[in-house]
Amino acid sequence: MSTVRNDTLREFLLWFVAIVFAALIQTNWPHLLRFQEVTPDIIMVLVVYFAVEHGEERAMFTGVIGGLYQDVTVNTTLGHHVLCYVLIGYTIGSLATRLISEHAAVKAGLVLLASFCQGVLFALIQYALQPQRGILYPIVTNAVPIAFYSAVITPVIFLLVDRIFHKRKVISGGIL
Amino acid sequence: MNAGRIVSEYRPLVVLIVLSALSLFSLATGTEGTVIHHGIARIVKVTSYPFLKLRYVTVNTPVRIYHFIADYNAVYTQNKELTREVAELKKNEAVLDNIRRENMRLRKMVGFAAEQPRFTLKPVAILESYRGMLHIDAGALAGIKPSMGVITGDGVVGVVTEVGDFTSTVATLHHMDCRIGAMVLRNRLRAYDGVVQATGTDFSHLCVMEYIDMKYEVGIGDIIVTSPESQFPAGLPIGRITAVRSGDGLWKRAEITPFVDPYRLDEVMVIIKAAEEQEFLSGSPVMPLRDVGGDGIVTNSQSTAPEMPDIRPVQERYAP
């Protein structure tokens, strides 16, 4: 029983570190993956991953941590990114129970859809807070390219994260 | 069905509602300046610091290593150039420092000369200093004569003892040939012989005032100045009494540390002429009338007071 608890704690810490690491890459080292002034939304990819693999609750908390880091770094009002990620995480988590395909393209498509919805949601909230900034322009210039780019790198990130988490499960004999 | 069971059954939905409500509340109230925002921002910055440091190290260290290897020759050459440049700058700094010190000394001398209008002073460079004697860069052709006093802004240096055509020799207070009439400034006390002279040893930079009457009061710290009987104008500082020794007889002996160290001098001033006190007080003689601008108007910047009456006897006035 204690072994299971230790493994759970370890997995929880691993999950937390992974989220923080991804958020830090996203916020402090954006030029690492920048291509044509577009940066992928790694947090979104992780939210989708945990929604598919662990359910909507884990996905929502992933969005909370990643969103807080982004809110602080970008200096937006607290909750701006968080709300988007939480809503998307819950939705994807609910949909994932009906997702029967393990094909990478399906997951990439899911990320594309989620990232685009997150971009639209983000633009809507921004429009509600600051109507003078418009709504169409941010969607076209930000949401669409970021969604595509995030979808492109999805297989790689899924593979990496899957190696980190799933491999441990196999080694531990499927206890978790 | 109780509330706990409902929460556990619809836990994801409850979490969603709570998180969404908190986010919406934060968005609605705008918590950018609140304690919560500052706290979260602080947590984020603290947790991100190791990552940023690690990123800095991992990015910059390979770059540095690459540059160190790739640019080794350039760095080596630059190092040599910089070393040479540093040496050049140090040399220049030493020269500038010397000039600055010389400038300060000259300013001090000029200031002293300006403060003493009754003296006609000649600034002279020191060519050599050896065992209490100075060779100065001025001789008879420059108007130097034996027994002239030599001073600086700090006090008396010594007396000119030998004069050549271009150089002169000065016996300082460290040399036995230098004897200067002196007195205690506080009470104008003179010794029996009235002079201050060197101790006579090469190892002591002190000079002494011998033959002070036992009954007179002399203390450590008293300042010794030139007396009116000396070849110097009265009142120039010589030194300070550092010890008073009583002998077996009727006399005391005061040891004096001179104010001026002759071994640390580069320039001195020779007193060419010292105006008498009365002459100094009454001013210089009246200048003759002169024609200014050629228009026949004569001016005289001196006093226009009427002449004093001639009080000589008639016989003397009209004597052949």
Is the per-residue pLDDT at B303 higher than 50? no
Cβ atoms of A77 and B26 within 8 Å: the answer is yes
Q: What is the pTM of this model?
A: 0.48
Q: Do B44 and A73 touch (CB under 8 A)?
A: yes
Q: Do B44 and A69 touch (CB under 8 A)?
A: yes
Q: Domain holding A23: CATH number?
A: 1.10.1760
Q: Which residues of B touch A (CB under 8 A)?
A: 11-13, 15-16, 19-20, 22-27, 30-32, 36-37, 40-41, 44-45, 47-48, 51-52, 55
Chain B nearest-CA distance from A131, in A, is: 15
- Asked if residue B229 belongs to a domain, the reply is yes
Residues of A in contact with B9 (CB under 8 A): none
Which amino acid is it at B104?
M
pLDDT in tens, B230-266: 888 888 899 999 988 887 778 888 899 999 888 888 8
Total structural domains in chain A? 1
- Averaging pLDDT over each range in A22-36, B13-27, B199-213, which range is the top one? B13-27
- Asked if residue A71 belongs to a domain, the reply is yes
Percent of chain A with pLDDT over 70: 88
- Asked if residue A99 belongs to a domain, the reply is yes
Helices (H), chain B: 3-9, 11-29, 35-70, 72-115, 277-282, 314-317
Cβ atoms of B207 and B165 within 8 Å: the answer is no
Q: What is the pLDDT of residue B293?
A: 46
Of B20, B37, B51, the CB nearest to A78: B37
Distance CA A138, CA A124 (A): 10
Q: What is the pLDDT of residue A86?
A: 92
Residues of A in contact with B55 (CB under 8 A): 28-29
- Asked if residue B20 belongs to a domain, the reply is no
Q: Do B16 and A28 touch (CB under 8 A)?
A: no
Distance CA B105, CA B107 (A): 5
Is the per-residue pLDDT at B295 higher than 80? no
Reduce the DSSP state of residue B99 to 3 states and report it. helix
Of A28, A64, A94, the CB nearest to B48: A28
What ipTM score was computed for the predicted complex, to two decimals? 0.78
- Asked if residue B250 belongs to a domain, the reply is yes
Chain B nearest-CA distance from A27, in A, is: 10
Backbone angles phi, psi at B227, to 5 degrees: -95, 165
- Asked if residue B87 belongs to a domain, the reply is no
- Asked if residue A176 belongs to a domain, the reply is no
What is the residue range of B136's domain? Answer: 116-279
Is the per-residue pLDDT at A23 higher than 60? yes
Question: Tokens at residue B77, please?
Answer: 């050459």
Q: Do B31 and A78 touch (CB under 8 A)?
A: yes
Distance CA B290, CA B297 (A): 8
Q: In sequence order, what are the beta bridge partners of B169?
A: B135, B162
pLDDT in tens, B86-109: 999 999 999 999 888 888 888 877
Q: Domain holding B190: CATH number?
A: 2.40.10.340
Question: Tokens at residue B307, please?
Answer: 């002449």
Place of tokens 């994807």: A92
Buried b (16+ CB within 10 A) or exposed e, A59-87: bbbbbbbbbbbbbbbeebbbbbbbbbbbb
- Asked if residue B148 belongs to a domain, the reply is yes
Q: Do B27 and A28 touch (CB under 8 A)?
A: no
Residues of A in contact with B41 (CB under 8 A): 72
Q: Do B19 and A129 touch (CB under 8 A)?
A: no
Is the per-residue pLDDT at B66 higher than 60? yes
Chain A nearest-CA distance from B5, in A, is: 17
Interface test with B, best of A56, A72, A91, A126 (most B CBs within 10 A): A72
Give, for B123, the enclosing helix (H) or strand (E). strand B119-130
What is the residue range of A24's domain? Answer: 2-171
**What is the mean pLDDT of the segment spanning B309-319?**
66
The more confidently predicted of residues A42 and A170 is A42
Total structural domains in chain B? 1
Q: How many CB pairs under 8 A join A and B?
A: 78
Chain A nearest-CA distance from B101, in A, is: 56
**What is the mean pLDDT of the segment spanning A133-161?**
86
Chain A nearest-CA distance from B66, in A, is: 20
Is the per-residue pLDDT at B83 higher than 90? yes
- Asked if residue B315 belongs to a domain, the reply is no
HSE (side-chain half, CA atoms, 13 Å) at A77: 19
pLDDT in tens, B29-53: 775 667 777 787 788 888 778 877 8
Q: Do B12 and A68 touch (CB under 8 A)?
A: no
- Asked if residue B11 belongs to a domain, the reply is no
Residues of B in contact with A72 (CB under 8 A): 37, 40-41, 44-45
Residues of B in contact with A69 (CB under 8 A): 44, 48
The more confidently predicted of residues B119 and B137 is B137
